[in-house]
Chain A
Amino acid sequence: MAGVSESISTQMGMHTEPLTGRDIKTKFTLENEGGFGYHFARDVDFNRRAEIDCADREPTDINNRIRELMDSGHGSIVIRNPGAKHSLIVGILNRMNVIVEGSLGYFGCGLLDGPTVRISGRVGWSFGENMMAGVCVVEKNAGSTFGAALRGGDLVCKGSVGSRTGIDQKGGTILVGGDTGAFSGFMMQRGRIVVCGNAGKNLGDSMYDGTIFVGGEIQDLGVDAVPADLTDLDRGWLTRKLTMYEMLPERGVDHFTKIVAGKQLWSYDNLEPTEKKLVL
């Protein structure tokens, strides 16, 4: 663990949980390379590419087919004709590429840990729920509860998303090119949400921690969500992250508003570690 990285992440508000008494601070680097992997992960070759035509297949069949292809070493899978079907590309705990030519329905890309997924269409409710690591990029719009309980990785929607984006978020980064609906960041606990457009009412309501950046108008803030100063570190990070996904606004990021938890709503820091685990 590099001390510099730890210092930066602390300055950015990502380490605010030193508790009274014992210290259960989680340490990580901003360049969080590696650190994940399962002994049962498939040894896939990114240059081996396969396609699945979903037109006449059920979701379970499609997900099983993805696993069969991973078992046979395919590291790049193209999903054709997904037809907005639900629960596709879920539970993949492997590094690999998935390219979706079309749109997904509800609960797409849930419980991921590692893959890079690019979707040319839109996604329905609860996309990327509980993702641990990896990258998902949605080229069009997304439904509500985008990135619910996200724990790690980058979840990107280049269009607009519905309500309750990043509800219960526990880590990772959510990037939205357009607008987000009401109650975004509701009860978020860690991580960052970046919205280039407008945010609906009750933004960050009851958030415990984490940071929300909004480039457009904020209808209103939720309980205990407060504005904070945008620092040079924030500007640098926003610029780097938005550039990475070709979402950097022409006028840069200086106009972004930063929202954090006021921490007046709860006695979180007074909890014992065991109690805190229950809360989280």
Chain B
Amino acid sequence: MCGIAGLIYRDGARNIGAEMTAMLQALKHRGPDSTGFAMYGAPGPNEYIMRFKVAEKEDLGGGTKIHRAIVERKAAVDAVLNDLGVVVLELDEPTEYAIRYRISFDGDLKTLADQIEEVEGAEILSIGNALELIKDLGDAADVSGAYSLGGFTGTHGIGHTRMATESDVDIRSAHPYWAYPYNDIAVVHNGQITNYWLKRRQLEREGQRFVSDCDSELLAVYTAVNLEKGISLEESLRKSIDEIDGVFTYLITTGNELGMAKDTMAAKPMVLYEADDLVALASEEVAIRAIVPHEIDTSDPYDEEVRVWQA
């Protein structure tokens, strides 16, 4: 059934890493297989944060070959970066297979992303001025601990706890999804999109690329394409209710916005808490109470309801 959560501060950055971890841990019972975060930190001028992986966690149990392969894949990615004139400002390797680069780059993001994806075993999780997308197997505490997210400072974020139903238990199938190769757009989704292949093929014919077979990725790419056409996030969310079939509640983030949309049946849950400084949403109120423990007023957004908040 999966759990989704999001928060946005309207008056500046906070320690959202710890708060998102607490919210997602409270939703562990909705999906224990994997946990993912898309969080937005302080962007630097002409800087990007790039997170990618060069193996699946489960690959590590496959003997010594994979360890050599990981080293080779990292070197191949570095060669691509060098060829494209990317300046690596900071390198972090929270796990053997997951890498975070802070880079300076003024070229085309799609070219960068496409060339890294051509490296065997390499998969980009996100590239963005402010976006950092982290996902791995295990619950929120496991992932947050492994990737040292407890101290992450930022303005907004979304997250997902996954119960695998239609694809494998691996990082590739975990949420959130980045809107490849668009800057700073990510999505988490609870539901099922029934015209996924139809809409995906339409977007592919327009030149869009998908890195997974997960229906949730469609929402990210669909939104990114709309935004690129000059459509506002709110209007894109409204269009999605008409154009996307199925049952869904999803949260989508850009560099400074958090949006929410619910399908016509309102079949998937969402609880909303709005205060002057904070907006928090989750599949269950218990997740919001993990960061706002005192008694609060919350509500359920209705069918076809669309909301957008600014950081």
Chain A interfacial positions (CB closer than 8 Å to B) = 83-86, 102-103, 105-106, 120-122, 124-125, 140-144, 159-164, 181-183, 200-201
Q: How far is the CA of A140 from the CA of B271 in the complex (A)?
A: 13
Q: How far is the CA of A102 from the CA of B295 in the complex (A)?
A: 6
Report 12 cross-chain contacts, Cβ distance below 8 Å, ordered by A residue. Answer: A83-B293, A84-B284, A85-B286, A102-B295, A103-B289, A122-B285, A124-B271, A161-B300, A164-B266, A182-B302, A182-B303, A200-B303
Q: How far is the CA of A142 from the CA of B295 in the complex (A)?
A: 15
Chain B contact residue count (CB 8 A cutoff): 19
Q: A143-B269, A200-B303 are in contact. Are A124 and B297 (CB under 8 A)?
A: no
Q: Could you say which residues of chain B place their CB within 8 Å of the CB of A142? A: 300
CB of A182 within 8 A of CB of B265, answer: yes
Q: Does B95 contact A (CB under 8 A)?
A: no
Q: How far is the CA of A83 from the CA of B289 in the complex (A)?
A: 7
Chain B interfacial positions (CB closer than 8 Å to A) = 264-266, 269, 271, 284-286, 288-289, 293, 295-300, 302-303
CB of B266 within 8 A of CB of A181, answer: yes
Q: Chain B residue with minimal CB distance to A106?
A: B284
CB of B303 within 8 A of CB of A143, answer: no
Q: How far is the CA of A250 from the CA of B306 in the complex (A)?
A: 32
- The distance from the CB of B221 to the nearest CB of chain A, in whole angstroms, is 28
Q: How far is the CA of A144 from the CA of B265 in the complex (A)?
A: 11
CB of A121 within 8 A of CB of B295, answer: yes
CB of A181 within 8 A of CB of B303, answer: yes
Q: Could you say which residues of chain B place their CB within 8 Å of the CB of A103? A: 285, 289, 295-296, 298
Residue in contact with B285 in the complex, picked from A105, A144, A183, CB distance below 8 Å:
A105
Seed contacts A162-B302, A181-B302; 5 additional CB < 8 Å A-B pairs? A83-B286, A122-B297, A141-B297, A143-B271, A143-B300
Q: A103-B295, A121-B295, A124-B271 are in contact. Are A86 and B302 (CB under 8 A)?
A: no
Q: A83-B293, A143-B269 are in contact. Are A200 and B302 (CB under 8 A)?
A: yes
CB of A160 within 8 A of CB of B266, answer: no
CB of B300 within 8 A of CB of A84, answer: no
Residue in contact with A162 in the complex, picked from B264, B285, B296, B300, CB distance below 8 Å:
B300
Q: Could you say which residues of chain A place their CB within 8 Å of the CB of B298? A: 103, 122, 141
Q: Could you say which residues of chain A place their CB within 8 Å of the CB of B303? A: 163, 181-182, 200-201
Q: How far is the CA of A143 from the CA of B301 in the complex (A)?
A: 9
Q: How far is the CA of A161 from the CA of B289 in the complex (A)?
A: 20
Chain A to chain B: the 6 pairs with minimum beta-carbon distance, closest first: A162-B300, A84-B285, A163-B266, A182-B303, A84-B286, A181-B302
Q: Could you say which residues of chain A place their CB within 8 Å of the CB of B284? A: 84, 86, 105-106, 124
Q: Chain A residue with minimal CB distance to B294?
A: A102
CB of A84 within 8 A of CB of B302, answer: no
Q: Could you say which residues of chain A place their CB within 8 Å of the CB of B293? A: 83
Q: A103-B285, A125-B269 are in contact. Are A140 and B297 (CB under 8 A)?
A: yes
Q: Could you say which residues of chain A place their CB within 8 Å of the CB of B302? A: 162-163, 181-182, 200
CB of A144 within 8 A of CB of B269, answer: yes
CB of A144 within 8 A of CB of B295, answer: no
CB of A86 within 8 A of CB of B286, answer: yes
Q: Could you say which residues of chain A place their CB within 8 Å of the CB of B296? A: 103
Q: Could you say which residues of chain B place their CB within 8 Å of the CB of A162? A: 266, 300, 302
- The distance from the CB of B298 to the nearest CB of chain A, in whole angstroms, is 6
CB of B300 within 8 A of CB of A144, answer: yes
Q: How far is the CA of A95 from the CA of B245 in the complex (A)?
A: 46
Q: Could you say which residues of chain A place their CB within 8 Å of the CB of B271? A: 124, 143
Q: Could you say which residues of chain B place their CB within 8 Å of the CB of A183? A: 265
Q: How far is the CA of A36 from the CA of B284 in the complex (A)?
A: 34
Q: Could you say which residues of chain A place their CB within 8 Å of the CB of B289? A: 83-84, 103
Q: Could you say which residues of chain B place their CB within 8 Å of the CB of A144? A: 266, 269, 300
Q: A83-B286, A84-B284, A105-B285 are in contact. Are A141 and B300 (CB under 8 A)?
A: yes
Q: How far is the CA of A181 from the CA of B301 in the complex (A)?
A: 9
Best-buried of B264, B266, B285 by chain A (most CB within 10 Å): B285
Q: How far is the CA of A84 from the CA of B293 in the complex (A)?
A: 10
Q: Chain A residue with minimal CB distance to B269?
A: A125
Q: How far is the CA of A13 from the CA of B310 in the complex (A)?
A: 50
Residue in contact with A141 in the complex, picked from B265, B266, B288, B299, CB distance below 8 Å:
B299
Q: Could you say which residues of chain B place their CB within 8 Å of the CB of A122? A: 285, 297-299
Q: How far is the CA of A163 from the CA of B293 in the complex (A)?
A: 26
Q: How far is the CA of A245 from the CA of B214 in the complex (A)?
A: 48
CB of B286 within 8 A of CB of A105, answer: yes
Q: Could you say which residues of chain B place their CB within 8 Å of the CB of A163? A: 265-266, 300, 302-303
- The distance from the CB of A176 to the nearest CB of chain B, in whole angstroms, is 13
Q: How far is the CA of A141 from the CA of B289 in the complex (A)?
A: 16
Q: How far is the CA of A106 from the CA of B293 in the complex (A)?
A: 17
Q: How far is the CA of A102 from the CA of B297 in the complex (A)?
A: 10
Q: How far is the CA of A51 from the CA of B99 in the complex (A)?
A: 51
- The distance from the CB of B218 to the nearest CB of chain A, in whole angstroms, is 24
Q: How far is the CA of A85 from the CA of B285 in the complex (A)?
A: 8
Q: How far is the CA of A122 from the CA of B266 in the complex (A)?
A: 19
Q: How far is the CA of A143 from the CA of B302 in the complex (A)?
A: 10
Q: Could you say which residues of chain B place their CB within 8 Å of the CB of A160? A: 299
Q: Could you say which residues of chain B place their CB within 8 Å of the CB of A106? A: 284
Q: Could you say which residues of chain B place their CB within 8 Å of the CB of A159? A: 299
